[in-house]
């Protein structure tokens, strides 16, 4: 039988797209070119595209989210990472698409609805697809990449974030294939 402390344990969770290692390495090299001094570049294995931040979640809510994610039906799609930029207030340097493919928008909306059905109040900020490549960095101008990076998106994940003084540490907990 679980103790009260175990029952009250909460995990900081989010849904995301997690690139394969070769694309993560390419994005890490891009970060090294963009952020030469200062800033904190993300380790390649930490680079991802957050679909929906869920916040601290208990075990029952996590189970609800996992069941809801299983029912999401969005076909696989291609994502063109074709520009870079900065969120100045957050001091985040990112790479991302200039256009959001319809399946990506449907996936984000489906996960937002699932979170609401599970009793969570998702963020009210609009969805801006991007992959953070550096934090606490000087701004870089929004600019196109010389050659877009093609990302065949075939699945999405539920991940856990643990905050540490040196930065966040991420763990993929579950993965679901895209299917339409």
Tell me the catalytic residues.
48, 130
- CB neighbours of residue 16 within 10 Å: 21
- CB neighbours of residue 157 within 10 Å: 19
Q: Which residues pair with 78 in a beta bridge?
A: 152
| CB-based contact 176:51 (threshold 8 Å) | no
Dihedral of alpha carbons 116, 50, 175, 169, sign: negative
**How many Å apart are CA 74 and CA 155, to the nearest integer?**
10
**How many Å apart are CA 16 and CA 10, to the nearest integer?**
19
Which tokens is 144 given?
A: 């196109």
């Amino acid at each position: 039988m679980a103790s009260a402390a175990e029952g009250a344990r909460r995990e900081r969770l989010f849904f995301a797209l997690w690139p394969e290692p070769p694309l993560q390495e390419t994005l890490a090299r891009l970060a090294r070119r963009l952020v030469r001094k200062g800033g904190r570049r993300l380790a390649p294995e930490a680079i991802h595209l957050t679909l929906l931040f869920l916040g601290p979640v208990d075990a029952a809510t996590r189970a609800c989210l996992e069941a809801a994610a299983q029912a999401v039906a969005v076909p696989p799609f291609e994502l063109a990472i074709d520009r870079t930029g900065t969120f100045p207030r957050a001091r985040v340097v990112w790479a991302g698409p200039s256009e959001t493919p319809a399946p990506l928008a449907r996936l984000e909306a489906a996960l937002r609805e699932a979170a609401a059905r599970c009793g969570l109040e998702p963020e009210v900020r609009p969805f801006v697809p991007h992959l953070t490549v550096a934090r606490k960095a000087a701004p870089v101008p929004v600019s196109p990449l010389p050659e877009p990076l093609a990302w065949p998106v075939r699945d999405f994940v539920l991940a856990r974030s643990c905050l540490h003084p040196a930065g966040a540490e991420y763990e993929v907990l579950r993965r679901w294939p895209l299917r339409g």
